[in-house]
Every structure is written in C-alpha cells, then in structure tokens.
Amino acid sequence: MIPIAAGDGFSGWHALNDTVMGGRSQGACRIGPTGLVFEGTLIAEGGGFISCRSPLFSPPLDLSSCSGLELELVGDGRRFKLAVACADGFGGLTNLIPGGLRWVVEFGTANSGMTLVRIPFADLTASVRAKPVGLPVRFDASRITRLQLLHSRFADDGGLNAGFRAGPIHLELHAIRGYP
C-alpha cells in the first residue's frame, strides 16, 4: 500500500462547488479527528454538485506500481465520483480543455458506518464536465496531479446519478492509498 492521505494528512484539501458555474450549493472541508470532513448543502437547480479536492501534487504522484486506489469513508449511502487528474503526455494540451480532462468512476457507500472502496485504475474513464469523451488519451498512474471526490446529480456516464440527494450532506474521508 502507498499512503496518499489519512488523518491530518488532508491538509490543503478544499471545496469546489457548483458556484463556479452559477449554482448555489455550499460545502466546506475541514480536518476532523479521523480525517477530512466535508459538509454542506446541495441544491440541484443551477448546478447540482459539491466536491472536495486535493491540492496539486508537485511533483505528480507516481502510483505506477499500484493497481488502483483504496478509500476509507463514511458516505451515508450516497453515490460519489472519484475524479483523478493527470499530467498528460501531449505537452499539457488536455489542460486547455474547459473544465479539464479527468479520469472518473462512480461508487456507492454504505447507509451507515465505514465503507472501504477499491477502485481499479482500469475502471476510470476519461471525462470532461461529467461527460465521457473519446479522446485518444490513456490514464497514466505515474503522473497523478490531483484527486477530487464529488457528489453530483450527474453519473460518470453523463446521465443522472440515481443516488443523488439534494439537501444536507456529511462525508468523512478517513484515508486514501494506492493498492498493489
């Protein structure tokens, strides 16, 4: 296992909500006794997402020896998306895409208590603003520049997230690590 963040190791993580596109959802990150705590209120109209994301990793994380990411979290039965940004091999051209290219996957959480989720890198799909893209790019686990956890009204296939719930939200992210 390669630890990425746990406990107070989530320093620098911050909220990015739908207000960046005219929405009205509010969410904030803070370090709690067990890790990252993300709380807020989701408003579906005008946007419909809240998220917490890591600072930029510089140098990028090299998880090429890993098969995927493992998350320990308390998510109250909601469906979330993990979005992973990578430095690309096209001279940064994918960074010019409005909204940026992200590698995403959707996952569920238990209704109560801790959920342990394993996300194989092979399950990540290229996406721009919640829409899958068919660009000729490949995921590079040796150049991960940012991680983001979202609760959005949109699923990773661009359709509606059946597990989306507007209103108050509470998420606890206890750990993220790469697994072999």
Domain ranges of the chain: 2-179
- Terminal-to-terminal C-alpha distance of the chain: 6
- Taking only the tens place, the pLDDT of each residue in 53-110 is 999 999 999 999 999 999 999 998 988 989 999 886 554 444 545 456 788 899 999 9
pLDDT on residue 107 = 93
DSSP conformational letter for 167: E
Contact 180, 1 (CB under 8 A): yes
Handedness of CA 6, 129, 75, 140 (dihedral sign): negative
Residue of higher predicted confidence among 104 and 135: 104
**46 pLDDT tier (thresholds 50, 70, 90):** confident
Rounded distance, CA 52 to CA 129, Å? 15
Q: Which two tokens stand for residue 16?
A: 């990015």
Report the chain's mean pLDDT, rounded to a whole number: 85
Q: Report CA dihedral (10, 137, 62, 83) to the nearest 10 degrees.
A: 10
Mean pLDDT along residues 112-139: 82
- Taking only the tens place, the pLDDT of each residue in 4-16 is 999 989 999 999 8
Cβ of 39: how many Cβ atoms within 10 Å? Answer: 17
Task: Count helices and strands (H / E) in the chain.
Answer: 0, 13
Rounded distance, CA 115 to CA 24, Å? 29
Question: What three-state secondary structure class fits 93?
Answer: helix
Rounded distance, CA 79 to CA 46, Å? 20
Q: Which two tokens stand for residue 177?
A: 């690590």
pLDDT on residue 99 = 54
For domain 2-179, the question of CATH label 1.10.3720.10 is answered with no
Residue of higher predicted confidence among 112 and 95: 112
